[in-house]
Chain A
Amino acid sequence: MNQYSSWKYILILLTIGLSLLYVTPNFYGESFAVQVMPVKAGETIDRSTLKLVESSLDKAKIQNIGIAFEDTDIKIKFKEANDQLNAKQVIEKSLGNKFVVALNLISNSPDWLSNLGALPMYLGLDLRGGVHFLMQLDLSKLSEKKNDGFLVNVRKELQKENVKYYDSKVINNYVQLKFKSEDALNQAKNIIRAQGSGRSIFGGKGPAKETEAFNFSQIKSNNEFILKIKNNQYTDEENVNFALKQNLETLHNRVNELGVAEPIIQQQGKDRIVVQLPGVQDTAKAKEIIGRTAILEMRMVDEERSDPATIEKAENGQLPPGTELYYDRSENPLLVKKEVILTGERLEDASPGVDQMTGQSVVYLDLDSVGTNIFKEVTRKNIGKRIALLLIEKNYTEVITAPKIKSEIGGGNVMITGMENAQESTDISLLLRAGSLSVPMEIVEERTVGPSMGKENIARGVNSTMWGFAAIVVLIVAYYMFFGVVSVIGLSVNLLFLTALLSALQATLTLPGLAAIAITIGMAIDANVLINERIRDEIRNGMPPQRSISQGYDKAWGTILDSNITTMIAGLALFMFGSGPIKGFAVVLVLGILTSVYSAIFVSRGIVNYIYGNKRTIKKISIGEIFKVENN
């Protein structure tokens, strides 16, 4: 009755083997590395860059101990910290500012292990040091900005169509207009409605043309006709969404500048962004860069001197006076005048949309009043010429787009045509605003852990786990003798499974997570204790040893299940409602429950069966002293 079929042993050995495989990377340690990534998130690296890196390292005679090339990054490992620092400088010099070169620590585990997905445990910021920021969009500023811009538009359109109104203002989150007649109100409504349908298409995802972008409500009182215009919920959500996407993009670019390896920049909730920078020590600099604004400039393209010969000369360093040479997004050279027409400060908004006349994808720019006047003047004088929009960030300038001026543009609403599709107009408008954050953001949570403290925290967690484990081993073996030894083996296997799972899943391990490992050990012993006590019970009641063992395991099963599921419920709730380190605690707790049930029931029984199962009769099993209750 206490025999396992061989497939069960094979399964046990297989799981243990696999776990050992996934645990190993944790023992290899880390070596110093330099990581090369493209500045723009999502772009890829090609082989030529790799060659450039290799040759520059050769030239500087810096020896590396391994290069890993992927589409998104290149990692070069070094033996010593000194080599790492030198290499960083050399590579930065040879690659220029299209790439981010960051210092990193990379696991030494062999490639075949990494290829299997066997990586060391992923340590949270509290264990490896670093900064965590939670940033929040200022939504009131967003709707203020949107409504103000909208009101200016409405006024202009109504004037154009000669619709009489008086008293127009923004109240809370809607725009209010007053009219003398109902006719005027209805006329205005139609004009606004027509304007709204084209503008609300964001990146192809927005409402269809037929859908209204606004909610209208009207009140009639004392010969006064009041029209209230509000973004519909969908438009509002799109606005927030777009602003958030914009800010994410901007933060990506800025964080890259810090040269942080493996930063995390993610949306959290509806209007928040998490930025995690592992290993960052200079938090002041991090804050400065994340909070900084880059510059957007409009300048004229030097059309008179844009013949191929001049441009070729310019590319070789012979620039015509008063010009500069920049490249656009498809690497085409452009000669641009030094004189700046407008800067990003004058740009209030850039959004993708559809030209209602032609149905083409376009980008709309909204300028402020000063910008509008300047722009009017410039476009009047330069019809037929191109105007370049430059993004200047950390001494790196890129031409985002250079459209041709078709006619004089007044009124501050600039439409840039020539976009291939909705995606491109979305991209361009993102880029136009990537220089500055679309809506101001505030750091609402900051958690910083110094690197030495991170190391200390690891030591603390590991020490508690080790001592706790050792104490339990002594206690359990002394109490349950051989069955105690089996429990301890089960417990060790449990620890092995848990670490393997954490490594394989790459769940973030935090200090509370380490604490959860320790607690899991304490709690996992419960299943073993329940089993051992049940077996003792059966023997106490006069059952023969073989039968006691199988009954003990069987009867304990239901109890183990019940008690673990209730803990599981708690773990899942922690996971759902917890954030950061608490989530880390929950992950370990939930995984720990799973592994402990498996190891206590399945693995430990396997061992017991292996030892006792083949013997026909056993007189006595070693489960510690059993005090017989008489006459119960």
Chain B
Amino acid sequence: MDNKIKEIKESVPFFESKKGIILAGGIVGAIAVLLVVLGNPKNMGFCIACFERDIAGALGLHRAEIVQYIRPEIIGLILGAFIMSVAGKEFKSKGGSSPITRFFLGIAVMIGALIFLGCPLRMVLRIAGGDLNAIVGLLGFAAGIGIGIIFLNKGFSLKRNYKTSTFDGYIMPVFSLGLLVLLIAAPAFIFFSKEGPGSQYAPIYIALAAGLIVGILAQKTRLCMVGGMRDKVMFNQNYLLLGFLAIIVVAAFGNMLTSNFKLGFTEQPVAHTDGLWNFLGMALVGWGSVLLGGCPLRQLILAGEGNSDSAVTVMGMLVGAAVCHNFSLASSGNGTTPNGQIAVIICFVFLLVISVANSSMIKKNN
């Protein structure tokens, strides 16, 4: 019967369509390439983990001199999502879904990302730059998402959120504006790298505009690196995965045009060749992100939409970045550190405990 599978023909908003997310992903890929041309480190048009780590350094939360800068892209992402969610009447102050658990998950995800040297978005951009180490990372990321899905299917949940005070949701956008003021005013107590990745950046206002555009697009499309694979496996939905693939295709093409494409494992920018730890680092990020309900980029966007659970996660990532550099956990181009390897193992145990404790395996009606 025709009317049995009658699909309500209400017009699908453009950004809910496959064309919409492909276009958005393509624009994100193109902007990432452009930011590298204009001064960002190679294969780092965007990296939520690296950029939050740079901000942590600028604020003096760690003293690694080569990674200190207030990245306007992060400010733009939060503000872009904020503006778009207000315009679309989607802005809502809410929170209360196991905030301290999310804070520590944020720390764990940051540790995994800085072992690999990149968040899932930078992993995608590294693949698009020909960095085969990121393919190893992708395999780990998929494995981590797989583990997370097992627990989701076993009833994992961090419990529901609730409405918070109206102003609660404005804290993160205001915090972003505060960062922007500190960046422009550049007072003596803010640290700016003189050399290394922290000293490589696109002009402030271009980087801010890039963040705003991507923030707007990501808010409209709900672009999420972890959601792509998760939704494909769990619900056979391709929508978010198409965005993920569009970023790779367009950024790879852009990198070739701008002579920034180099296929191989060795001598890749801001990367190391330690396959096991690239795999495990991203497995940690994948698993942690599934538990959090979205990748680091998505957490920033939700924080801009008034979600204080995601805001707490972002703060956890900032602290995680500081921990990584204060305790010598972060990798460098030379590879991983013993401390970093131990930290990853500890984080896996932590994720397992969190996963089991919050799933229906042992959960009663609490």
Real complex partners, A and B?
A: no
